[in-house]
Structures are given as structure tokens and as C-alpha cells.
Amino acid sequence: MTPDQLIALSILSPAIGALAIAVIGRNDDGGHTPRDIMTIVATLFTFGFVVQLVGPVMAGDRPELSLFEILPGLAIAFKVEPLGMLFALVASGLWIPTSIYSFGYMRGHHEHHQTRFFVCFAIAIFAALGIAFARNLLTLFLFYELLTFSTYPLVTHAGSEKAVKAGRSYLGILVFTSVSFLLLAIVWTWQTTGTLEFRPGGIVDGHLEGTPVFLLLALFVFGTGKAALMPFHRWLPAAMVAPTPVSALLHAVAVVKAGVFTILKVIVYVFGIDFLTDGNYALWLCYAAGFTLISASLVALTKDNLKARLAYSTISQLSYIVLGAALATKTSVLGGGMHIVMHAMGKITLFFCAGAIMVASHKTEISDMKGIGRQMPFTMFAFFIASLSIIGLPPLGGAWSKWYLVLGALEAGQLVMVGVLVVSSLLNIAYLLPIVVNAFFYPAAEVQIGDGIKEAPIACVASLLVTASGCLILFLYPGFFLDLAQMIGEF
Amino acid sequence: MIEQLPALQVVLPLFSALLCLLIRNKTASRLFAVAVSWGCLAIALILLQTVQESGIISYHLGGWFPPLGIEYRIDLLNAYVLIIVAMISAVVLPFGFGHWGLSIPEGREYLFYCAFLLCISGLLGITITGDVFNVFVFLEITSLSSYALIAMGRSRRALRAAFTYLVMGTVGGTFILIGIGMMYLETGTLNMVDIANRLPLAYGSRTVLVAFAFLTVGVGIKLAVFPLHHWLPNAYCYAPAAVSAFLAATATKVSYYVLVRVIFTLFGAAYIFETLRFHVLLIPLSLLAMFVGSAVAIYQTNIKRLLAYSSIAQIGYMTLGLSFASINGLTGGLVHLFNHALMKGGLFLVAASVMHSIASNEIDDMRGLGRKMPFTMAAFVLGGLSLIGVPGTVGFISKWYLIVAALEKGWYPIAVLILLSSFLAVIYVWRAVEIFFFREPDAETVIKEAPLSMLIPTWILIGGTLFFGLQTGWTAGVASSVADSLLGGLP
């Protein structure tokens, strides 16, 4: 197959999968095996096609696919470059364990409307891949909005008053920021530069300078509400009302990473890192990201609900990537790119664990989970591994991305940011490790949880063990992703 | 035959209306009306093709040469508006075929179709003619038939709505007539081309100024420009279901066409915008319409009234595009004619289907309809997304041109206001969507999905909003070449 066919196939697979799931799936509630098989087939096909693109990209090829022009000079077009390849691999790769996990979770939890759930999930992956491979800002924006609207039914899945309210702030913040700021930034870019194509070295250089650059950057960064930079972060904790597989793949990986991916891509291919460092345009963004990084960690400390704590942790971790972009050095961007992968692997495991606990013991509050390690040793062990990866300790994957981020901060001469990264790691320890410690070492006499092992369904446990070992493997063999991330900027 | 098509475009529906009176049988008269509307669409398509191939068509009615005789003059703009009117009537007339619901009074069906065809011929006549007095005549045919159509609404309040419209419409019609008379006084001709040639000689005169004032206010009433919109919400709300869809999608569009003709063809953009600085008045009014219309729509409890207020806001977008007096702005306004006809027509057809199923258009009575009528309600969601201006729908295309136009003039606050107003659309659309999909329906009532004869027309229009949201070659292409030729000298 030629690379341009591969692009089409990898983007279309989840879309066709969604259709097939809708046709096959029964409308009533409960599990349905043929539908689940269809889902797995779709995930495997998608990942299979995406993986085949890796070879050409590593070899320096940049496969392209241009569909049609929406407006004169503005086409729906795709082009695979290293950063997009990275994001596409993460989103489509983690879709497989998430689907398997979902089968166990949705059945174990007796969720209703399961067909709608899997259909919307597949559409969301379709949108994420469209974002990953977008060749210009317009294509990216089209899929960005599709991702917002396709995940809305997932967030409001429960249909309860609380879910509808959460859906309101989800849609409200994401649509408000994207329509008011991001779209304005895109039209403005088009207006001044006459193009929306991503190009190495950026397209803004030579067209704008001084205050307008600050303004344009701010519009882009705050317009990308999915990156959850404060003060537009509230939608993410709200979205935690969704079933846990959604929180795991979409609100720790696909949706939020689509946000930081957009920021990285805009900084590298629209502004260009040299242009930003020459004019010192992104310094304020370092501080904005640093602020979100620290304060979200502090908020996470105060949360007793496990998913809420993880959500604030995600907000904080996303700002690592924004910081990597804002430092605008080759190394920091590399660190940001790596953190997309590393954080995805760690955070998805943590959410899988949270969901497993919910299914097996119906507990959502951290204070109720004392001693739960006796009941769910595998789950809590995976939780421990993933926590270490998020904190950034070797021998786990998270160590690499933090290493490069710190190096990047030093390279840029931003010692304050080095300090921020160190403090944040300490905060990570403070809000993640006590959960593990209490789960395993709480005095047996005071534990209210029964003895004996009572884990979540095997589909759940298997997936979370796979992703936890992924954290370890990523430490031992980061080479592939490093090579890919090193090429960011070569369009 | 082919050379007589311009006359047939008007004469066919006009005489068919009379024939409808003779048929009297309700099914036969309906079949006949549908056939005529399809014939009109065919003629409009051929006319468009002819114009695109061989330029302006000038048809001399009765063989009398202009300026003495009446000239039908079809350029790309007329042909474009003819298509909109013919297309919407061809889709709306067959809507609900085989079902005689609550919308048309029993025993008077043939009168309904007679008035409907008269209205079509009036709208087509206004569009096609090149003679200003002829515009007035057809305007009155349209108005009188639409008063009758609105008054046929089921509720007694329809009578009052029709009466208000009658009073306002008559004032508007009279103003237009006075304006025409004054132009005749100054130029001694009624032919548009002649007027356009002779008016510049009289630019200094106060009569021309007053003529312009009378014409714009008169057309403004018909177009429901804020604050002359008072008649519109009630008229759309209480009219029979199909009539709301038809009028909302065509009547205001044709009035907009008249405004464009008056400003750009008769008086000339340079005089209106550079000497009179008309945009100083029109821009604030357009912005007010966008915000007041959307804000009031948020508080509506009736779905048709909500859509009507949204129309007032959308008319604001169109007049805003016109008042930029630039290629991009006018393109945005003109393309929104077509786009808004598609989405508002589709949305009013959704309201009509709901009326058929539950005999109510109160939003509260539509609780949980998303589950009972999934296809109809999905059409509402897509139409709503288009009102918001989500990329991939036609609403986005119009908005894109408007924002580009605002930015190229350097009017940044207006660009921001356009975007903010689309966020208001999110609120009024999503408030309804939440009720349709998340509230529990009344358990005891049995509600069925709308019949195919309603679903197909609805989805033709809604499908159009998606198709023309991605394939804009025809719509934006025609609109921009029209804008190009209308602006002539201006940048």
C-alpha cells in the first residue's frame, strides 16, 4: 500500500468501525459479544495501519494526502510528521487495551447504552487521528471540534442531572475557548500570512512582530481549551463524571493530548521555535504553565475523590508539555513530545486502576481505600508502578521526559522553571504515594475491607497490567520514541 | 421554448395557483403543486446554467423593449436567489406527503396550495425582474399570499400574527412604493439599469436621499432588520408548520436580495458607503440583531419561536456582511443566504415533524424526544451545530468569510463580537438539546418516529448543510463572483 492510502485507511478505520459497531450493536443494555469483537477488529485495524506509517516517517518521508478544498486555498489535507506520528501511535495504540478494559468495566458496572458508548468512542479516535495527521490549521480545527462534540455523549453517558451539568461545563468551556479564541487566531493567521499550512520554521515570521505576536500566541494557547491551561481547566474535573474508560483514554490521553499536541504543533510549525526565542515571545507562557503546574498539584492534594485527584494531576502534567513547548528549545520540545507518550502510559494505568477499584469494591473516595491492597494486590501494584512513572523516577518511562524537560529548561536558562519542575515532582509524590502506602500498609486491625482477593474482571486487570508494564518498557527501550521526538520540527 | 424560460419561471406558478382553485381535490391539488414546484426548480437550474455559460439574460416581456416594456434581467445574483427559492419550495411542498396533519385547515387544502403557489411566484418574480415597479407588484403578491398562509395556522393567535404582519408589511410596501416613486421623479425611468445609469447625475438631490431612506426602511421591515423585526417571531411561530419552514428559508432571503440590489445596483456602493456612510448605521444594528436575537432566543419556550429569534440574529450576520462593502464581507452575506435557507428550513421542518408527532411545539413537551424520534432529533442537533458555526457545516463557511472581512478592515472588535455571538447560539441550541435527550419523556404516551415523507425532506436540507459545509465550490464560488461584480469599483 502506498503511504497516502495508509493515511486514509488509518483515519477511516475508526470511522468505519463506528458505523459497523452501530449496525451490529444491539440497542438494549448490557454486554453484546459480536459488537465487542467488532470494536476489537476496528482497534486492531486502526493500529495496524498507523504502525505501517512509522517506517516511511522514520526514513524521512512525509506522506501526504489532500482531499478537497473547503475554501479557496484551504484544503482538508493530511501530512504525517514525527510529532503527529507520535500522537497517533499513542492514541491508536492505547485504544486497544482501553477497549478490552471497557468490555470488563461496562459489563461489570452494568452500564446502559453500551452501543452508543463504543460508537462515540470510535468517532473520538477518528477525530484524534485527524488532528494528529492534519496538514493545516483548518483541518486540525475541524477535527478538534468533532472531538469535542463526539465526546459529549460520553461525558453525559450516565444521563443523570449531575452528568448533564458536567456536560454543560465541558461543552461550554471547550466550545467557548475554541470558537472565541482559537478560531479567531486561525482566521487572523490566515489574514496576515495568507496560509494555514504547518511549515518547519513557522509561517508567522516576517508577517508579525511585537505585541501582536504575544496576542496571537495567547489566543492560540488559551483557545486550545483541551490543554486545560488555567483558567480554562474546569472542564476536565467535570468530565470525570464519565465512565472510567472515557476518563482513561480520552481525558488522560486522546482529548487532552490533542490539546497539548495542538499547542506544540502551533509553536513548532506556525510560530517556529527560533522566532519565539529571538523575540522572547513565549516567556510569559512558561510562567503561565508553571503556575498551572504547581497550583493544579496543590489542588490535587486536597481532593479525596480518586478520579478528581487524577484529573488535577492530569492538568498539572499537561502543563509540563505546554512548558516544554513554551521553553522553545529543541530539547524542551523533545521533552514535551516524550511526555505525551510517557504521561499517557502512566495516567491511563492510574485511571484503569481507579475504575477497577470502582467495579470491584464500589469505592470512589481515597479515604475509603485504606488497606485495599490486600483485596486488590495486582491493581494496587500497577497503581504503584504508574505513580512512580508519573513522579518521574527511574526505572520508569516518566523519568525520560522529565529529564529532557529539565535539560531544556537549563538550556533556555530558565532556572526558575527547573525549580518548578523539581517542586512539582515532590508534590506528585505527596498526592500519589500516600494512596499506595495506605492501600498496603494500613494497620490490619483498622481495615474495614474484607480479606481475600477480590479483583475486578479479568479484562480490566489484564489491561492495567499491560499498560503498567508499558511504563517499565518505555524506560528500558525509549529509543524508538526518542528518535521520533528528535525529528520534531522536520516537517 | 428555452428563450421563454424567464417568463415561465414566474408565469408557471402564477397560473398553476389559479388552476389549483379549479382542482379542489386535496390530494390532486397537492400533487399538482409539488409538480409545479419541481418544474420551477428545473427552470431555475437551466437559467443558472445559461447565465453561467453565456452571461446576463435580458428578456423583454411581451416583446416591448426596455425601458418602456418590462425587462426580466437575470445575472448570477438573480439566478442564485432563484435557485434558493425554487429549491426550498421543491423540498417543502412534498413534506409530509400522504399525511394531513394539524397544520392545514380541513376542506381548505386547495386554497392553501393556491396561496402557496402564489407566494412562490411572487418571490420568484421579485427576484427575476429588472423593473422596480414590477418588484413592488410581486412584493404585494408575496405579502398578500403570505398573510393568508400565516392566518391558516391552527391556533387563533395566527390571525393576530397575520394581522400584525399585514400592518407592518403594508407600511413596508408603501414605503417601498414611495421610494420607487421618488426615484422615478428624479430619473424618469423604472428600469433598474436605466436608474443605475441616471441616479449618479442626481446624487446631490435631497429627493434621492429620501428615496433611499424610504426604500431601506421599507425593505428593512420585510427583511426584519433589527429593530423592525417585531412581526417576525409571531408570524413564524403561529403559521402552519410547512409555511414557517418555507417563509423562514425564502421570504427574508428575497428581501435581502432587494436590499442588495438597491444598494449595489441602483445607488452604487461608492455613494452609499463612501458618501452616505450607511455602514455607520447598519453595523451597530446588525450587531444588536445578532446579540439581542440570540439572547432572546435563549429564553424561548416554544421551539418555533426560538428558531424565529435565531433568524433575527442570522439576518444580522447577513446585513453585517453587506455593510463591510468588501468582497469577503459581501460573499459572507450572500453565501449565508443559501446556507441559512438550508439550515433554518431544515430546522423548521424538524419542528413540523415534531408537531405532527406530539401536536405541540413547546420545548417542555419535547422532553426525551431524542429517544423516541432519533432521526428527527439528530437532524435538529446537526442543524443546531450549523447555527453555531461548527466547522464541517455551512454555518462555519459564512462565519469564516465574515471574520476575514472584519479582520482585513482592521475592525478587530467586530470579529470578536461575531465569535462571541456564536457562543450565544451554543447556549440556545444546547438548552433545547439537553431537554430533548436527557429529560425523561412522559411514560404513558406512545410517540413514533416521523414518517419517511417528513424525514426525507428534512434530511435533504440538513444533509445539504453538511455537504455544502465541505464542498463550497458552488455556493461560495457563485457568491464571491457575484460580490466581485456588484462591488465593481470598490476594493
Give the pLDDT confidence of B417-470 residue by residue, as tens digits: 999 888 889 899 988 888 888 877 776 677 777 888 888 999 999 999 999 988
**A76-109 residue pLDDT tens:** 889 888 888 989 999 998 888 888 888 888 877 7
Contact check, Cβ <8 Å, B419/A68: no
| Distance between CA atoms of residues B32 and B94, nearest Å | 10
Q: For residue range B340-355, list pLDDT tens digits in order.
A: 999 999 999 999 888 8
CA-based nearest residue in chain B for residue A192: B408
Distance CA B34, CA B143 (A): 21
Give me the pLDDT at residue B384, please: 92
Contact (Cβ atoms closer than 8 angstroms) between residue B476 and residue B121: no
Q: How far is B455 from chain A (nearest CA, A)?
A: 20
Which residues in chain B touch residue A183, judged by CB atoms under 8 angstroms apart? 403, 419
Which range among A69-78, A234-243, B435-444 shows the weakest confidence by mean pLDDT? Answer: B435-444
Closest chain B residue to A180, measured at CA = B419
Inter-CA distances, A187 with A78, A179, A191, B119, B314, Å: 20, 11, 6, 40, 20
| Closest chain A residue to the Cα of B418, Cα to Cα | A180
Residues 6+ apart with CB under 8 A from B329: B320, B321, B322, B323, B401, B402, B405, B406, B409, B483
Question: What is the residue-averaged pLDDT of chain A?
Answer: 86
Interface test with A, best of B416, B449, B472 (most A CBs within 10 A): B472
Classify A165 as helix, strand or coil: helix
| Interface contact flag, B385 A149, Cβ < 8 Å | yes
Find the mean pLDDT for residues B241-254: 89
Option in A159, A171, A187 nearest B400 (CB): A187
Do the Cβ atoms of B438 and A156 come within 8 Å? Answer: yes
Q: Is there a contact between B278 and B369 (Cβ–Cβ < 8 Å)?
A: no
- In this prediction, residue B340 carries a pLDDT of 93
CB-based contact B416 A183, cutoff 8 Å: no
A185's grid cell: 487566531
Cell of A445: 486491625
Question: Which one, of B428, B212, B400, lies nearest residue B312 by Cα?
Answer: B428
Query: In chain A, which residues have their Cβ closer than 8 Å to the Cβ of B397?
Result: 70-71
Tens of pLDDT, residue by residue over A14-54, are 999 888 888 887 666 666 778 888 888 889 999 999 988 88
SS3 A67: strand
Name, of A54-58, A59-63, A312-316, B371-375, the range with top average pLDDT: A312-316
The fraction of chain B above a pLDDT of 90, given in percent, is 35
pLDDT tens digit string along A319-359?
999 998 888 888 888 888 889 988 998 899 998 888 888 88
Interior/surface letters B417-446, b for 16+ CB within 10 angstroms, e for the rest: bbbebbbbbbbbbbbbbbbbbbbebeeeee
Which cell is A443 given? Answer: 494497620
Chain A residues in contact with chain B using a Cβ-Cβ cutoff of 8 Å: 68-72, 76, 138, 141-142, 145-146, 149, 156, 159, 164, 167-168, 171-172, 175-176, 179-180, 183-184, 187-188, 190-191
Q: Which residues 431-460 on chain B approach chain A with CB closer than 8 angstroms? A: 434, 438
Q: What pLDDT is attached to residue B335?
A: 92
Chain B contact set for A71 (CB, 8 A)? 397, 400, 472, 476
How many helices (H) and strands (E) chain B has is answered by 20, 2
Which is nearest to A293 in space by CA: A178, A418, A395? Answer: A418
Closest residue in chain B to residue A138, using alpha carbons only? B391
Residue B298 near chain A (CB below 8 Å): no
Cβ–Cβ gap B419/A180 under 8 Å: yes
Determine the average pLDDT of the residues in A2-23: 87
Provide the 3-class DSSP secondary structure of residue A160: coil
- Facing residue for A184 by CB, picked from B388, B416, B473: B416
Identify all chain B residues contacting A69, using CB atoms and an 8 Å cutoff.
Answer: 473
Q: Which helix (H) or strand (E) holds B330?
A: helix B327-358
Give A137-188 pLDDT, tens digit per residue: 999 999 999 999 988 888 888 878 888 888 888 888 999 999 889 999 999 9
**B471 phi and psi, to 5 degrees?**
-105, 90
Give the Cα separation of B74 and B484 in Å (integer).
16
Sort A204 into a burial class: Cβ within 10 Å, 0-12 / 13-18 / 19+: buried
Phi, psi of A329 (to 5 degrees): -115, 165
In sequence order, which residues have a C-beta less than 8 Å from that of residue A174 and are 6 or more positions away? A148, A225, A226, A235
Contacts A165 to B, Cβ<8 Å: none
Cα nearest neighbour of A159 on chain B: B438
Quick one: which of A165, A145, A320 has its CA closest to A235? A165
Give pLDDT, residue A490. Answer: 67
Listed in sequence order, the residues at least 6 apart from A312 whose beta carbon sits closer than 8 Å to its beta carbon are A237, A296, A297, A299, A300, A303
Asked if pLDDT for residue B40 goes beyond 50, the answer is: yes
Residue A253: the pLDDT is: 83
Residue of B nearest to A68 (CA): B471
Considering only CB atoms, B391 lies closest to which of A142, A159, A184, namely A142
Chain A: nearest CA to B457, how far in angstroms? 23
Is the pLDDT at A448 greater than 70, yes or no?
no
d(CA A42, CA A44): 6
Task: Encode pLDDT of B170-214 as tens digits.
Answer: 999 999 999 999 999 888 888 888 888 888 888 878 888 899 999
C-alpha cell at A194: 495568507
Inter-chain CB pairs, A–B, below 8 Å: 64
Q: Which comes out higher in pLDDT, residue B491 or B288?
A: B288
The CA distance from A344 to A350, in Å, is 10
d(CA A360, CA A374): 13
Residues 6+ apart with CB under 8 A from A231: none
- For residue B159 the three cell numbers come to 390571525
Q: Is the pLDDT of residue A464 over 90?
A: no
Inter-residue contact A121 to A246 (CB < 8 Å): yes
A489 band by pLDDT with thresholds 50, 70 and 90: low
Give yes or no for B420 touching A (CB within 8 A): yes
Rounded Cα distance, B303 and B233, in Å: 11
Mean pLDDT, residues A258-276 taken together: 89
User: For B315-371, how does the pLDDT look when each residue is reduced to its tens digit (9 = 90+)?
Assistant: 999 999 998 888 889 999 999 999 999 999 999 999 988 888 887 888 888 888 888
Mean pLDDT of A445-473: 77
Chain B residues inside the 8 Å CB shell of A68? 470-471
Residues on chain B touching A138 (C-beta within 8 angstroms): 391
Question: In percent, how much of chain A has pLDDT > 70?
Answer: 96
pLDDT at B102 over 70: no
Q: Please report the DSSP string for B378-441 in residue order.
A: HHHHHHHHHHHT-TTSHHHHHHHHHHHHHHHHT-HHHHHHHHHHHHHHHHHHHHHHHHHHHSPP
Name the β-bridge partners of B73.
B58
Please state the rounded mean pLDDT for residues B91-117.
80
Give the confidence band of B491 by pLDDT, cuts at 50, 70, 90.
very low
CB atoms within 10 A of CB A209: 13
Q: What residue in A sits closest to B480 (Cα-Cα)?
A: A72
**Chain A contacts in chain B segment 384-403 (CB below 8 A):** 385, 388-392, 397, 400, 403
pLDDT attached to residue B1? 65
Q: Which residues from chain B sit within 8 angstroms of residue A142, using beta carbons?
A: 391-392
The Cα B252–Cα A122 span in angstroms is: 41
Nearest to A338 by CA among A407, A277, A397: A397
DSSP state of B449: P
Judged by a CB distance cut-off of 8 A, whether residue B178 touches chain A is no
Cis peptide upstream of residue A231 (ω within 30 degrees of 0): yes
Q: Do B392 and A142 touch (CB under 8 A)?
A: yes
Provide the shortest C-alpha distance from residue B260 to chain A (in Å): 23
Check residue B100 and give its pLDDT.
65
* DSSP calls for A199-212: -TT-S-TTT--SHH
> Does B416 contact chain A (CB < 8 Å)?
yes
CB atoms within 10 A of CB A473: 12
Cα of A188 to nearest chain B Cα, Å: 7
Supply the pLDDT for residue B463.
Answer: 92
Of the candidates B404, B420, B423, the beta carbon closest to that of A190 is on: B404
A179–B423 CB contact, under 8 Å: yes
Q: Is the pLDDT of residue A445 over 60?
A: no
Tell me whether residues B416 and A180 touch, CB distance under 8 A. Answer: yes
* Cross-chain CB nearest to B470 (options A70, A145, A164): A70
Do A191 and B391 lie within an 8 Å CB cutoff? no
Chain A residues in contact with B331 (beta carbon < 8 A): none
Q: How would you classify the pairing of strands A64-71 and B57-60? A: unpaired
